[in-house]
Chains A and B, each alone.
Chain A
């Protein structure tokens, strides 16, 4: 098992390098030069050249990459081209809101999806099954921005129950209640998508397991339906569910761009869009890298969780 984890990490290293290379070169495709953006338009060509030299932008691409990589190892992600703040600092101030938003959405989504999926599997082809299947198709099909605008229209603009956006009331006390109040609508939007996707997997995975012989045995032994469903069946239907969770986790970082834009939620998604508008490539590069690392880690965790959930899986 330890050897397997070690091997997985070894494989992840070249992938990580590939990620940094691809990331760097994508960003360097950019035609607009950051210096042109940040320097006073009346600057002379000499001043421009000096600026470029100061930022290392007159070097060939591969040497810029190596420089960036070395800095990366020192935990230095460079400075924002637009605000000149250290990128690490900018990321740190935006990561909290996104993780909060996505974390709550994932939990709410799963809390809805898992019981609903189990109920659907137990009462296959009942009205509740059809209702939930309909909801799940809606959840995976509706674009976040449309649903977001819809809930703002109904709950914020017409019913005035919740604020239309942002994380705290401007000039408010910034209390927990205030934040929760702001969380409700974006979480509702994101959780709809997450639950809609998850409920399908829970349902089909449970259906699969419920048909197995060992569950008939459990029933024959006289175990209660509750124990059968929640102890015997659920654990055995975990594998596909873990896979979906593993795919969902990276959304903590990169999954809420559109929703954050609609609700003006001050997280990484909003930062991404601001950085695109201001051609702040060093920040974009850092966000991308952070997101990619999250994916790599999530994949690794998924594989380890497999082994925990299914003792039959052995890794040599």
Chain B
């Protein structure tokens, strides 16, 4: 048996090889793939700025009950009050504190953005892996299904579906998650098609690993980079989607606060022209959140692509 071999047995090896090994040892632990991507990402200034801004928004969402000046649903005596010391951003037509609602609105955007993307990335990964790895009719079926889902204009179907099952935070997250998978599935399938021809996957089969092990431990880790980039941009798009749905009255509905539904009031021309504090801050928050995520996505893509080009 292999392990009973005399460990002192001299295996042919030249001096040259030894010295190159020693050089490698002297270099110490070379950086892993993750470190390499991270280092490149950190060189992208806008991406780092985006990461900081988005981190702050997550912090605001998490700490909303602590930092919010008032209860977001508490109705004060004065309606549509201009900004003042007690109400930094004034009050809305119902008499609620705009600043507090703005802070709580962050929770909605983060929840929908990350929740919906998590759902569809999971769906897309499984379907893409299965389609790419098994091929034949399974692939055919899943790819036609993808074509069908991709034929519908994304926002319109989401709008119709949400209107049918009823607008709520949970439902829009669910619907965006249910419909977003085809792009991920295609991406994963494409990667799988090229990765499954690699000898290390064949080696896994020859070593008798189970199919799920090969799919999730050998193929998926090598297909993750483009998924990560796509998912990042996906979070930005889901946040816009939620805001747009809420703006149209088909998303998060008052009294719950969402940046999107805070802008609905601006459809009235008086609010639009004479009470800009009601709609400009939530609009800017959406812009800021989406912009920061798009910067992160751009930085990630650069970091990963230049790594692959190496």
Indicate, yes or no, whether A interacts with B: yes
A251 to B266, CA, bound (A): 25
Q: Mark A136-150, 1 if CB is under 8 A from B, else 0.
A: 011011111110011
Q: Which of A259-309 contact B (CB under 8 A)?
A: 261-262, 272-273, 276, 284, 287-288, 291-292, 295-296
Query: Are B151 and A292 within 8 A (Cβ)?
Result: yes
Query: Are B152 and A153 within 8 A (Cβ)?
Result: no
A254 to B158, CA, bound (A): 12
A72 to B260, CA, bound (A): 37
- A143-B260, A292-B153 known; 10 new pairs, CB 8 Å cut-off, are A18-B147, A19-B151, A27-B160, A141-B236, A142-B290, A149-B263, A157-B272, A272-B159, A273-B159, A291-B153
Smallest CB-CB A-B distances: 5 pairs: A254-B153, A146-B283, A18-B148, A157-B273, A141-B290
B82 within 8 A of A: no
B267 within 8 A of A: yes
Q: Which residues of A contact B260 (CB under 8 A)?
A: 143, 145
A157 to B287, CA, bound (A): 22
Interface residue SS majority, chain A:
helix
A30 to B156, CA, bound (A): 16
Q: Which residues of B contact A141 (CB under 8 A)?
A: 236, 240, 287, 290-291, 294
Query: Are A143 and B286 within 8 A (Cβ)?
Result: yes
B150 within 8 A of A: yes
CB A17 to nearest CB in B, in angstroms, measures 9
CB A68 to nearest CB in B, in angstroms, measures 16
Q: Mark A23-39, 1 if CB is under 8 A from B, else 0.
A: 10011011100000000
CB A11 to nearest CB in B, in angstroms, measures 8
Tally of B interface residues using CB under 8 Å: 42
CB B155 to nearest CB in A, in angstroms, measures 6
A140 to B244, CA, bound (A): 14
A210 within 8 A of B: no
Query: Are A164 and B269 within 8 A (Cβ)?
Result: yes
23 residue pairs A–B, Cβ–Cβ below 8 Å = A15-B144, A26-B161, A30-B164, A137-B294, A137-B295, A141-B236, A141-B287, A142-B287, A143-B287, A153-B272, A157-B269, A157-B272, A254-B155, A258-B155, A272-B159, A272-B160, A273-B159, A276-B160, A288-B153, A291-B153, A291-B156, A292-B151, A295-B153
B276 within 8 A of A: yes
Interface residue SS majority, chain B:
helix
Pick the contact of A26 from B157, B240, B269, B294 — CB < 8 Å? B157
Query: Are B272 and A258 within 8 A (Cβ)?
Result: no
A142 to B286, CA, bound (A): 8
Query: Are A295 and B272 within 8 A (Cβ)?
Result: no
Query: Are B244 and A145 within 8 A (Cβ)?
Result: yes
Number of A-B contacts (CB under 8 A): 121
Q: Mark B276-303, 1 if CB is under 8 A from A, else 0.
A: 1001000100110011001100100000
Query: Are A288 and B152 within 8 A (Cβ)?
Result: yes
Q: Mark B154-183, 1 if CB is under 8 A from A, else 0.
A: 011101110111000000000000000000
A101 within 8 A of B: no
A257 within 8 A of B: yes
Tally of A interface residues using CB under 8 Å: 46
Query: Are A292 and B291 within 8 A (Cβ)?
Result: no
Q: Mark B235-276, 1 if CB is under 8 A from A, else 0.
A: 010001001100110100000000010010011010011001
Q: Mark B110-152, 1 if CB is under 8 A from A, else 0.
A: 0000000000000000000000000000000000110111111
Q: Which residues of A contact B149 (CB under 8 A)?
A: 22
Query: Are A137 and B291 within 8 A (Cβ)?
Result: yes
Pick the contact of B153 from A145, A164, A255 — CB < 8 Å? A255
A41 within 8 A of B: no
Determine the residue in chain B with the shortest Cβ distance to A253.
Answer: B153
Query: Are A150 and B283 within 8 A (Cβ)?
Result: yes
Determine the residue in chain B with the shortest Cβ distance to A30.
Answer: B164
Query: Are B248 and A258 within 8 A (Cβ)?
Result: yes
A140 to B286, CA, bound (A): 12
CB A153 to nearest CB in B, in angstroms, measures 6
Query: Are B144 and A257 within 8 A (Cβ)?
Result: no
A311 to B166, CA, bound (A): 50
A75 within 8 A of B: no
CB A130 to nearest CB in B, in angstroms, measures 10
A250 within 8 A of B: yes
A158 within 8 A of B: yes
Known contacts: A145-B263, A146-B263. The answer to whether A284 contacts B160 by CB under 8 A is yes
Pick the contact of B273 from A18, A31, A137, A158 — CB < 8 Å? A158
A253 to B157, CA, bound (A): 13
Query: Are A258 and B156 within 8 A (Cβ)?
Result: no
A146 to B269, CA, bound (A): 14
Query: Are A295 and B151 within 8 A (Cβ)?
Result: yes
Query: Are B250 and A276 within 8 A (Cβ)?
Result: yes
A14 within 8 A of B: yes
Q: Which residues of B contact A295 (CB under 8 A)?
A: 150-153
Pick the contact of A287 from B156, B164, B291 — CB < 8 Å? B156
Query: Are A26 and B276 within 8 A (Cβ)?
Result: no
A152 within 8 A of B: yes
A152 to B276, CA, bound (A): 12
Q: Which residues of A contact B153 (CB under 8 A)?
A: 250-251, 253-255, 288, 291-292, 295
